[in-house]
Structure 1
């Protein structure tokens, strides 16, 4: 796991203050792991866990300065509630983090009759589940899966995030088997973003490579609109890293477009491309932040 973003548009004084952060609960999730990675830059930190992504994001800025939420999984794709929130709520992306997603299996018997697994864990470990017998019991969280196993008196197993299988846990409980990394994809990663209420955009640092995020709001739909937007970026040589369509919720066929692009929002080519797009549609600028791809051609 590694932290790939730098908060450059928060005052330096915050680096020595307690920063209230919100993220998705319960305890033991990959979201909590992402918060710990993000918070390594702070001397002091406290955070709150929320039962849903919507409530996590809604807590900014009234209760928390920052929310750390999943944006995209390399297997499952984009996290829709987070992208949709960018249209409904003023938010600014200030950093991104990449967290490896690995699940392990622990069992109290060599031939478990039941496997406790949260629904996301089931989707990420479907190959292993398909190859092994036993009823799959869906749980509300990964921590619940582990707790059910620890209290189970019959042959059972649990699929849980690898970071929950600590040395202390293994020393306390004598599991019949521990199978590390039962995840379908060996290089599974979830990308998290740290968001805050919009602040003035910090100037680009010449030694950093940036990416930016925007939303094109569908309020002037007409044939060829998407092509016109794509041409604007192509003409000004701005590389698009991601383009995701999300329904507006108004009627079929209407979509907002979430776009990630190379470069800082203050870069002349990026500004020129966005000026052309803004002639046709409203654009929500979500911020610029450092990312790990060193091959950026528009920094």
Structure 2
């Protein structure tokens, strides 16, 4: 089974992929869009992408991709994130800190407190940051300890994220909907396009009066005009469950567009 993910090797994405499937043939891609396209076009069987972090919130680029593809979400992985500061040099040498924007955001207070004068640069992935840090002793990367091992760097400080309870949720894209398990989640994308008081309240009420628990709601600009949004909603249950099927049917009359992104087994925080 071919499982594609954001490369290069030595990232949290690779750790999530191994947690999802230890036996999969991992295919590393240059960007997140390429992961989604590889699954959509059949070049890979599955793809894994980060969708939200407990400190930094949603990954907007992935939410946008979900609107453009037909591949369903078939699973999720929740990964505890422990960020490390790594370098060829010592703490006293550090003048430049590099990493992915999400990782830098998760360590914002640490950087400000311990390296107030450092230049902060963004990279496409935490692994790419580690690869860059190989070249200069005054440069440090932020990422997972696996990156330090792979690229021959010293871990100068472990667990530098600003809050200890740091988790990233990854979604798995596939070709075929997952079957109900009795412990499922369904993800929806909704575009209301009706500027009236209570529109979102009425929409969410279809879940409330059926006792369907909503676990997440996020908004994303529609790119049509300012103040116009898509809503991304996660609820407990499978789209084939009678109550949720009834709710989705009722919701179609309350919005312009409703896209079921997938029903899949819920992952628990270990």
Q: 1:136 aligns with which of 115, 119, 122?
A: 119
Equivalent residue for 1:61, pick from 40, 43, 50: 40
The Cα of 1:106 is off from its aligned counterpart by 3.2
2:21 alignment partner in structure 1:
39
- Residues 272/118 of structure 1: CA separation in 2 closer, same or farther (3 Å cut): same
Distance in 2 separating the partners of 1:147 and 1:185: 26
Corresponding residue for 2:93?
A: 112
- Say whether the 8 Å CA contact 1:115–1:159 is kept in structure 2: no
The question of 1:210 aligning with 2:184 is answered yes
CA distance in 2, matches of 1:69, 1:138: 23
1:156 offset after TM fit, Å? 4.8
RMSD, aligned α-carbons: 2.5
Contact in 1 for aligned 2:51/2:171 (Cα 8 Å): yes
Work out the CA distance in 2 between the residues paired with 1:188 and 1:201: 28
Which residue matches 2:27?
A: 48
2:164 corresponds to which residue? Answer: 186
Gaps (5+ residues) in structure 1?
Answer: 1-18, 295-299
Which of 85, 101, 126 aligns to 2:81? It is 101
Relative to the length of structure 2, the TM-score reads 0.86
* Residue pair 2:11, 2:147 contacting (<8 A) in 1 also: no
Larger-gyration structure (1/2) = 1
TM-score for both structures, normalised by structure 1: 0.78
Unaligned stretches of 5+ residues in structure 2: none
Matched residues, number: 263
Please state whether the residue corresponding to 1:131 is helix, strand or coil.
helix
SS in 2 for 1:60: helix
Shift of 1:135: 2.3
Work out the CA distance in 2 between the residues paired with 1:35 and 1:220: 40
Q: What is residue 255 of structure 1 aligned with on the other side?
A: 229
Secondary structure of the residue that 2:34 maps to in structure 1?
helix
CA distance in 1 between partners of 2:145 and 2:221 (Å): 35
Task: Provide the rounded CA distance (Å) in 2 between the counterparts of 1:58 and 1:77.
Answer: 24
Contact 2:183–2:265 under 8 Å retained in 1 = yes
Higher mean displacement: 142-151 or 30-39: 142-151
Aligned twin of 1:16: none
